[in-house]
Amino acid sequence: MNRTRSILLTILIGYLIGTTGIQAQSVIISGSCFSSPVTLTENTAGTASTGRIYYEGIGTINGTPNITIAVAWHSSFNSWFVRLNGGAHFYYQGNTPLPPNNNHYNWVKINEGGNLTYCPNGTPISITGDGTQHDPLPVTLVAFYSQTTAGRIMLNWTTTEEQNNAGFELMRSPDAQIWTSVGFVDGKGSTSSLQEYNLEDPEPLPGINYYRLTQIDLDGKGTYSRIIAASYEATDNGYCYPNPTDNSLQVNLPNGQIIKQINIISRFGKKLRSLEGPANQVEVGELPAGQYMLEVTTRTGLQIVESFIKR
């Protein structure tokens, strides 16, 4: 009798799983470039390679059919990307377990590079579905970096979207554990236009200084940014030199740190080039004149972001 009940129970469980099992999550993406909303489902190979769920589907973009559309996580940028036939067209910077829905229009169109073939004039896209989550961050932070000169460290950051933003408190730490306030910068409340901020640390600590931002809402709630590092000595000109430069940069790291990877990033947060270490010379002669960021990751996991000028 007990064995019969066990068999019947097993059959019943199998029936219930087969008829009422959990459905796969999906993402629905639409916008002015999309002929109609497109449903994306999980690509397990992509999920395995990125470490977070990877959504993919096929749709028509600006009248061109059979375009592969993907929503994917990229850990190096701490960002989610919307890719059209492999080219990144939109991104969201924020460490969320699932791609955020854009109730606050936090997905930003990439305005640089030559990979915007399918959606060159893309307006804000809509991303919804049970595979997304409500975006908890009221600010889209697209850049956060330091400029080191003799006697000071200047911290700079850029946003492209703010919702009820009271402002930013800049925090400094000698060990990325214990934090003290450097100062506060007022936010813009609610805006969808690009905003640039900066604040000088008048008394940086000798050696490596770690910095993060605490973004504070109008209701007093706070959200931390990612952590960056900057080196300081009384006569230090930073980790990379010469700065400004015409052709190349030399990267000089302290305490025997070894370079794992170097990224060159535009001032709007887009990666332009990636180089593998341990070489510490970076050729930049082909870059147009302007301001860029050098993002250096060491083998111990230390990340340093410093700006430089290409003449």
Q: Are 71 and 59 in contact (CB under 8 A)?
A: no
pLDDT value of residue 4: 45
The dihedrals phi and psi of 290, each to the nearest 5 degrees, come to 155, -170
CA distance 147 to 162: 24
Q: Cα separation of 63 and 66, whole Å?
A: 10
Question: What are the boundaries of each domain within the chain?
Answer: 26-134, 139-232, 240-310
* Count of residues in the chain: 311
Domain covering 240-310, topology? Immunoglobulin-like (2.60.40)
- Determine the CATH number of domain 139-232: 2.60.40.10
Alpha-carbon distance of 201 to 153, in angstroms, equals 5
pLDDT band at 80 (very low <50, low <70, confident <90, very high): confident
What distances in angstroms separate CA 135 from CA 57, 93, 123, 143, one per listed residue?
A: 22, 11, 19, 19
Strand 248-251 versus strand 79-84 pairing type: unpaired
Residue 156 above 80 pLDDT? Answer: yes
- 62-65 contacts, C-beta under 8 A, 24 or more apart: 62/33, 62/35, 62/118, 62/119, 63/35, 64/118
Q: What's the pLDDT score for residue 152?
A: 73
Same fold, 139-232 and 240-310: yes
Distances 243 to 153, 205, 228, 238, 249 between C-alpha atoms, Å: 15, 22, 19, 9, 8
Q: What is the pLDDT of residues 4-61, one digit of tens each?
A: 444 444 434 333 333 333 345 788 898 878 888 899 998 888 888 878 889 999 999 8
Which residues of 116-241 form beta strands (DSSP E)? 126-128, 133-134, 139-149, 152-173, 180-191, 195-201, 207-217, 222-224, 228-232, 240-241
Q: Please report the pLDDT score of residue 85 as a whole number.
A: 86
Q: Please name the helix (run of DSSP H) or strand (run of DSSP E) that holds residue 50, with its range, or none.
A: helix 44-50
Question: What does the pLDDT look like over 191-233, one tens digit per residue?
Answer: 888 899 999 987 788 778 889 898 898 888 887 777 788 877 6
Which has the minimum average pLDDT: 60-64, 67-71, 178-182, 241-245? 241-245
Q: Where are the alpha helices (DSSP H) in 140-288?
A: none
The angle formed by the CA atoms of residues 264, 241 and 233, to the nearest 5 degrees, is: 115
SS3 for 119?
Answer: coil
Q: What is the pLDDT of residue 198?
A: 93
Burial group, residue 218, by CB count within 10 angstroms (0-12, 13-18, 19+): middle
Residue 308 phi, psi (nearest 5): -145, 160
pTM of the model: 0.43
The residue among 170, 179, 174, 113 whose CA lies nearest residue 146 is 170
